[in-house]
Chain A
Amino acid sequence: MTNYESKLRRFRPRPLYERLNADLSLADETFDSSCVLKGASGESSLSWPSPMFLRQGVDSSCSEQMAALLGRLRRELGVSTYRSHDDSSTPDSRSLAAGIEIVPVYVNEYFQPATFHHAEQIEVQFFQGISDPNSHASASQARLTKTHWIPRMPRDISSIEQLSRRVDMLRQSSDQQGVLVGAAIAACSIYDDVRYIIDAGFDYVTLLTHITGELLTSQSLELHPVDSAISTATRAIQDSGRKGFSLLVTTPPARPSQAIDWFSAGVRAIGIDAMLQQFRPANTSQSGDSFGGFMGGYGRPSASRFEWIYDATEDFIEGLISECRFVGLDSLQQLDAS
């Protein structure tokens, strides 16, 4: 078992002498906060409007109101979200103007290719599925124990060649040219797992370092320190020699300046569930979470229960852009080259 650990490379802000020719009107221009995920072949790529994603709805249950909010976050703020496990609808078409919706596929559950006929991004979840008969996944508490996140290979796969063929099958199951197929895995044996995922032909890996329960609660679970996970994963990517392989991570509650360090270290996009959770209003709790929460929610318009999530996301994006300008970045894609 190999386990390389190294320190995270920190971002170096642009010094004053390098800002001599900086355009003073820059602050008035629209900041380019997009990021690009590249495919394994190097030919396909997918541009995300913003380098952020939310795993609500895939790591936790998703009510209709939450689904509506996730749709708004995608469309209006460019935050990528996952299709809910409960959503088995088969949309007639997909428009990128509606934002990026990632379709999750669990390793030990049967496929429903009809649900990803038009998917632009498919992600294999290397842990037990929601409907696994041996799982107690319906209980949100069970998802906040490490047992739920034990990395698992598909039971019907016995070699990396077979896994690679399955990745090809998933690519072929969407009618979108250059669909990206990624892998989500709990941060455990990071170096070896990332190398394996690269060798199997995936386009990117989502490393789960921090699991967040439903945003209306304060429940969370740390699987691995995020800085160490990022440095180990980026080393694995460098050692593999694969150009363009993208690293996505779920992060603990953090400040925008920390996010810049992660992007600078090679992370393409971050999961911001935990960051949003820290902005949860004190009087907001899920129905059933406590008696006080139930009484507190009584008589209040239900849609507003989630409005703070939208506001917190908007604030975080503004904070990140402000931080980027402060340290001298014109776009987030500049960090790829640094």
Chain B
Amino acid sequence: MNGTVELSLSSICGARLHHAIGEVLLSQQSRETAADISTVAIRVVGDGVHHFVGVGLSYPNHIDVVGSVGDYAFCGADNVEVTIDGDAGEFAAHSLRSGQVVIKGSVTDSLGSMAVGGLVAVYGTAGVRTGICLNGADVFVRGNVGAEAGYCMQQGTLIIGGNAGEKLGRGLRGGTIYLRGDVVSVSEDIEEQRLREPDRLKLGLLLLKAGIKTPSGKEFRVFRRRLDS
């Protein structure tokens, strides 16, 4: 480990965070020519809630955001390892391509929308339309989620550790929803299926990856696209 670099979030929202990290890593490399800059950890300290933090970010370094972030946090991020020590707004990890975004607080609506790869983990609760148009990524929410979770999902995995709201899986075309708690109503587009061994294995691996230490997976129910729909 080559230490930690600290950045202030006050002026580096949007694509500027990508460039700011690039500059910091470049100066780090020029100081220690033999250093492997991919192991430099980045600590981003917030002063208020900023929108569009980390849009298009693409650095493999561990990035720790201290404080909450606003809408579209880490939208389109690729090959990242991010931990947010707070809450996030709408469309967190939208279009995530690869890597891992862990949000220790709660998020509002449309978590992981259109994400094509990687893992988004939320330790708190999530708002409506969690995993909307999910297109290959894995989304985990430890607490409850709002209505229409998995709306128009194409592929990928949505794991809900708490309860789900109305119309779970509305418009779902592909992918899998795992639910541990209760659900207000299930949409006609999906049906509950028997939890099989591959499901348990997949759940266990994803829960471990998300940092959950009781990955038995037995208490979960599994929902997929209704076969006759």
Contact surface of A with B, Cβ cutoff 8 Å:
108-114, 116-117, 133, 155-156, 162, 165-166, 168-169, 171-175
B75 interface residue per 8 A CB criterion: yes
- Contact residue among B58, B91, B115, B132 (Cβ-Cβ distance under 8 Å from A114): B58
Asked if B90 and A162 make an inter-chain contact with CB atoms under 8 angstroms apart, the answer reads: yes
Known interface pairs A169-B71, A173-B56. Does A113 touch B110 (Cβ–Cβ under 8 Å)? no
A sample of 12 cross-chain residue pairs with beta-carbon separation below 8 angstroms, ordered by A number, consists of A108-B133, A110-B95, A113-B75, A156-B129, A165-B90, A166-B72, A169-B51, A169-B75, A171-B14, A172-B14, A172-B15, A174-B15
**How many Å from the CB of B52 to the closest CB on chain A?**
4
A113 cross-chain contacts in B, Cβ below 8 A: 15, 55-56, 75-76, 95
B106 interface residue per 8 A CB criterion: no
**How many Å from the CB of B189 to the closest CB on chain A?**
14
Query: A90's closest neighbor in chain B, by CB?
Result: B58
A111 cross-chain contacts in B, Cβ below 8 A: 75-76, 94-95, 114
Query: B50's closest neighbor in chain A, by CB?
Result: A172
Max chain B C-beta neighbours (<10 A), residue from A113, A133, A174, A175 = A113
B221 interface residue per 8 A CB criterion: no
B100 interface residue per 8 A CB criterion: no
Judged by DSSP, the binding face of B is loop
Max chain B C-beta neighbours (<10 A), residue from A162, A169, A171 = A169
- Contact residue among A114, A155, A162, A175 (Cβ-Cβ distance under 8 Å from B76): A114
B154 cross-chain contacts in A, Cβ below 8 A: 133
Contact surface of B with A, Cβ cutoff 8 Å:
13-16, 18-19, 51-52, 55-56, 58, 71-72, 75-76, 78, 90-91, 94-95, 97, 110, 113-116, 129, 132-133, 135, 152, 154
Known interface pairs A111-B75, A112-B95. Does A175 touch B110 (Cβ–Cβ under 8 Å)? no
Max chain B C-beta neighbours (<10 A), residue from A156, A162, A165 = A156
Asked if B14 and A173 make an inter-chain contact with CB atoms under 8 angstroms apart, the answer reads: yes
Asked if B15 and A175 make an inter-chain contact with CB atoms under 8 angstroms apart, the answer reads: yes
Asked if B76 and A156 make an inter-chain contact with CB atoms under 8 angstroms apart, the answer reads: no
Given the complex of chains A and B, what is the CA–CA distance between A166 and B18 in angstroms? 19
Asked if B56 and A165 make an inter-chain contact with CB atoms under 8 angstroms apart, the answer reads: no
**How many Å from the CB of B213 to the closest CB on chain A?**
32
Asked if A155 and B152 make an inter-chain contact with CB atoms under 8 angstroms apart, the answer reads: yes
Query: B71's closest neighbor in chain A, by CB?
Result: A165
Given the complex of chains A and B, what is the CA–CA distance between A171 and B52 in angstroms? 10
**How many Å from the CB of A260 to the closest CB on chain B?**
39
- Contact residue among B15, B90, B135 (Cβ-Cβ distance under 8 Å from A173): B15
Known: A111-B94, A169-B72. 18 other contacts (CB 8 A): A108-B133, A109-B114, A110-B94, A110-B97, A110-B115, A111-B95, A113-B75, A114-B58, A133-B154, A155-B133, A156-B114, A156-B129, A162-B90, A169-B14, A173-B52, A173-B75, A174-B15, A175-B15
Max chain A C-beta neighbours (<10 A), residue from B14, B58, B110, B113 = B14
Known interface pairs A113-B56, A156-B113. Does A172 touch B13 (Cβ–Cβ under 8 Å)? yes
A117 cross-chain contacts in B, Cβ below 8 A: 15, 18, 56
B133 cross-chain contacts in A, Cβ below 8 A: 108, 155-156
Asked if A155 and B132 make an inter-chain contact with CB atoms under 8 angstroms apart, the answer reads: yes
Given the complex of chains A and B, what is the CA–CA distance between A168 and B90 in angstroms? 13
B71 cross-chain contacts in A, Cβ below 8 A: 165, 169
A174 cross-chain contacts in B, Cβ below 8 A: 15
Query: B52's closest neighbor in chain A, by CB?
Result: A172
Asked if B132 and A173 make an inter-chain contact with CB atoms under 8 angstroms apart, the answer reads: no
Given the complex of chains A and B, what is the CA–CA distance between A97 and B86 in angstroms? 44
Max chain B C-beta neighbours (<10 A), residue from A110, A155, A175 = A110
Asked if B55 and A173 make an inter-chain contact with CB atoms under 8 angstroms apart, the answer reads: yes
B52 cross-chain contacts in A, Cβ below 8 A: 168-169, 172-173
